[in-house]
Amino acid sequence: MIKNFEQFKRLLSNDIGIDLGTANTLVYLRGKGILINEPSVVAVNQKTGRVVAVGKDAKQMLGRTPGHIIAVRPLVDGVISDFEVTEEMITYLINKAQKNNKKLLGPRVVVGVPSGITNVETRAVRDATKNAGASEVHIVEEPMAGAIGIRLPIMEPIGNMIIDVGGGTSDIAVISLGGVVRSKNLRIAGDKLNTDIISYVRSEFKILIGEKTAENIKISIGAILSGETPLEASIKGRDLISGLPREVVITDSDIREAISQSIDTLIESVKEVLEITPPEILSDIMQRGIYLIGGGALIKGLAEIITEYTKIPVHIAGDPLTAVCRGTGIILENLDLYKDILIANEDELPPKK
């Protein structure tokens, strides 16, 4: 009877998977696939308190808004920093995903969050998603969702290691038998590398550049290992001495120098996790390799440098940007199978004796 009721409920609601990222948020709709991949940016009119734009439109406004409009990123380091704006963003994304496919009941939603977030932060994600119209909210750690998304055998007694380098956080996790055996979450990811580039350009070239410019040069010429042909790009910014606009040419070796400290910290963290991993699982990882997902997986040379330091092969997952979102979709299709890997809702836990 219960099973029939659950099936009936599912007919009346949509299943939506959300990869709630600091830089980008991806949304999956069951039966349709990934429909939305938008920057996690919201533009708000401070006079009226109304949301002016969300996603790509809002990102275009970053650093270009008049005084009464602010473009904000409601998630910092993978955690909600502005609850109301996050709620507005999730509402917008859920409505956009089921625009032509509205159902009677609110959707069942699976949300991917960084590993190791606190109960308070988990509750904030749950409440924001509930307030955005979801009838059921399930929360999963991003490395676990990513491992499911790239079809690693996480339910088997086999060690799997995954590194998710996102916008705000990097998650390093060792997974076996449907659980995280060892993990580390660090605030070194795409945003930190952008900040490193801004600081470097400021100190070396005495030019002030914006976050968007830093991100663009990181993507276009950023490389951790030097190639045969040097890469270069021209950047425009404000001269710190004269206060006037100035253009300079920056090379891939400049970017390497700018981000070297952060990359070293990331590699050290990978080594730390490997050092505390049980030996049986470690032998599996040595044989199977480490899997790299997230936007940071696309940084040229990152996989090679991790291999060089750990002596373990590193594989870049196919379409690493969407791995977590694909994982939330697979979880939605087999919720009973994966229910033990979801972060438990405190309200539903049995009382302690």
pLDDT in tens, the chain (353 residues): 455 656 666 677 889 999 988 889 999 998 899 999 999 999 988 888 888 888 888 888 877 778 888 888 888 877 888 888 888 899 889 888 888 777 778 899 999 988 878 888 899 999 999 998 899 999 999 999 999 999 999 999 999 999 999 988 999 999 999 989 999 999 899 999 999 999 999 999 999 998 889 999 999 998 898 877 888 999 999 999 999 999 999 999 999 999 999 999 999 999 999 999 999 999 999 999 999 999 999 999 999 999 999 999 999 999 999 999 999 999 998 888 898 899 877 655 444 54
Element (H, E) at 142: helix 142-149
Q: How far apart are CA 94 and CA 11, in angstroms?
A: 17
DSSP designation for 347 = G
The reported pLDDT for the residue numbered 8 is 60
**Crossing angle for the helix pair 252-275 and 190-205, nearest 10 degrees?**
140
The reported pLDDT for the residue numbered 4 is 60
Token pair 């938008």 in the structure block, residue = 38
Predicted model pTM: 0.89
As a residue count, the chain comes to: 353
pLDDT tens string 121-168: 899 999 999 998 899 999 999 999 999 999 999 999 999 999 999 988
* Structural domains of the chain, with CATH: 2-145+323-348 (3.30.420.40), 161-187+267-321 (3.30.420.40), 190-258 (3.90.640.10)
Would you say the C-alpha torsion 72, 74, 77, 78 has a positive or negative sign?
A: negative
**Does residue 295 contact residue 320 with C-beta atoms inside 8 Å?**
yes
The reported pLDDT for the residue numbered 14 is 87
